[in-house]
Amino acid sequence: MTQKPNILIIMVDQLNGKFFPDGPADFLHAPHLKALAARSARFRNNYTSSPLCAPARASFMAGQLPSRTRVYDNAAEYVSSIPTFAHHLRRAGYYTALSGKMHFVGPDQLHGFEDRLTTDIYPADFGWTPDYRKPGERIDWWYHNMGSVTGAGVAEITNQMEYDDEVAFLANQKIYQLSRENDDSDRRPWCLTVSFTHPHDPYVARRKYWDLYEDCEYLMPEIGMLAKQDPHSERILKSCDYASFDITDENVSRSRRAYFANISYLDDKVGELIDTMARTRQLDDTLIFFCSDHGDMLGERGLWFKMNFFEGSARVPLMIAGPGVTPGLHVAPTSNLDVTPTLCDLAGISIDAIMPWTDGISLKGMIDGIERTAPVLMEYAAEASYAPLVGIREGKWKYVHCELDPEQLFDLEADPLELTNLAADPAYAEVLASFRARREARWNMAEFDAAVRESQARRWVVYEALRNGAYFPWDYQPLQKASERYMRNHMNLDNLEESKRYPRGE
């Protein structure tokens, strides 16, 4: 093995962690992910830091909560001075590259990555900024609506398939390129992040994957639309324009079927990446992280997409395989905030140099058999909210607070579907008081709210200004130096073919 392991991070989008109780659920057609799970440390109760793409991904890369990154929503700038795992690894000598989505907002579209192989699928500007000054406003041109559910079905190409096909192709091409340096003793170790947009809605899948789930017994949620929703869920339904759509059982089952089909689509992509790693003799020297930014409610409680702290939205898969990682199931709650310190710890970087820059905890101790007791923290301050929400997951408990709403307290062991809010039950007053005290010590909700409002208001001014006159986009433009590819006359043609071949001389 090389002095430092290579690292392959496979990130997917909106994958509900409830379907990964110990690797992929049995009913999922996911042979490659199941094979990866068999040799992975698997974290059953892993959570996003914020159930929305950009804040979740900014937190994932930095190991910092949104209140620290200031990436509150899908249009909040990720400032270039925040250290990410790409910075930490690159500083330690790693080559860092990204193929696919990371939803960076702002002019810095690298955040420590040396190379980006694709553009992003989502915009990099401030156009998707929510506005707490207008509670209940639907911004129709970009807010979620239920058309993803009523339009679920089959297609052989979509916007998202086109993107993920490109992400996988370029990632595999990069793995081949890296293999050519594999035998060089002085080569840099590498970290390649491959980030797909599936199984994120719209719920549309290729026929070959759709057909796998014709007789699936999980095409309807355990709990459908509730007669009475909590206030935040009511806001989500309003933001998704639920009342304007007639959602049938057929719509629900087709949406879930396409979602499961797209997990199988991703499974093929994962299998291709791992097969390329194996054939280029890099697999044994490489740490593999499989993760998602947030989940999808998929009709549970009548809710879709994310934007809340219920299990379907907030719980996400996490599997880690490779040198120094003992396979096994871990059930103590963990967080995507823990990925950055874990990456660095497993890469042999001094954790003391990382901890000032992260709110997470290295999972290496858990992998090595040390019990973890720290709580998992979550925040949400984006569309469908009128004020920030915060959550704490510890032991069997989940606590949720918003200044506008009654508190929520769930016992996830006794009530895994989160149907019984214990916050008003006198029998749990002591438990509630403990969580409330920790929340008050951790968050000043008035200051949090003021910071979000200021950020939104600033961005509305800037966005409206920049859309007037000449417009210079921040979207990443991937460049290829065609003069350095394949065969050119400034290259030594005698050794070109040999240098591009791996393995050599066989």
d(CA 269, CA 455): 38
CA angle 49, 443, 124 (to 5 degrees): 45
Give the containing element (helix H, strand E) for 399.
strand 397-402
Supply the residues annotated as catalytic: 53, 103
Count of beta carbons in the 10 Å neighbourhood of residue 465: 9
Nearest to 199 by CA among 441, 443, 324, 14: 14
Q: What are the beta bridge partners of residue 401?
A: 390
Q: Is the dihedral of CA 378, 380, 384, 388 positive or negative?
A: positive
Q: How far apart are CA 274 and CA 174, in angstroms?
A: 13
Measured distance CA(131)–CA(460) in Å, rounded: 8
Q: How far apart, in whole angstroms, are the C-alpha atoms of residue 145 and residue 353?
A: 44
State the Cα–Cα distance between residues 231 and 228, nearest whole angstrom: 9
Question: Contact at 8 Å (CB) between 313 and 51?
Answer: yes
CA dihedral 87, 88, 92, 96 (to 10 degrees): -50
User: Is the separation of the CB atoms in 167 and 99 below 8 Å?
Assistant: yes
Q: Provide CB contacts within 8 A for 80, sequence distance 6+.
A: 106, 108, 111
Q: What's the Cα-to-Cα distance from 204 to each of 32, 158, 164, rounded to whole Å? A: 22, 8, 13
- Pull the structure tokens for residue 210: 């759709």
In 3D space, the residue among 306, 108, 113 whose CA is nearest the CA of residue 194 turns out to be 113
CA distances from 177 to 14, 170, 181, 186, 448 (A): 30, 10, 8, 16, 46
Beta strand 318-321 with 40-43: parallel, antiparallel or unpaired?
A: antiparallel
Contacts of 192 (CB under 8 A, 6+ apart): 6, 7, 8, 9, 97, 98, 99, 171, 174, 175, 178
DSSP string for residues in 256-275? HHHHHHHHHHHHHHHHHHHH
CA–centroid distance for 62 within its chain: 13
Instruction: Answer whether 376's CB lies under 8 Å from 393's CB.
Output: yes
ω into 503 cis (within 30 of 0) = yes
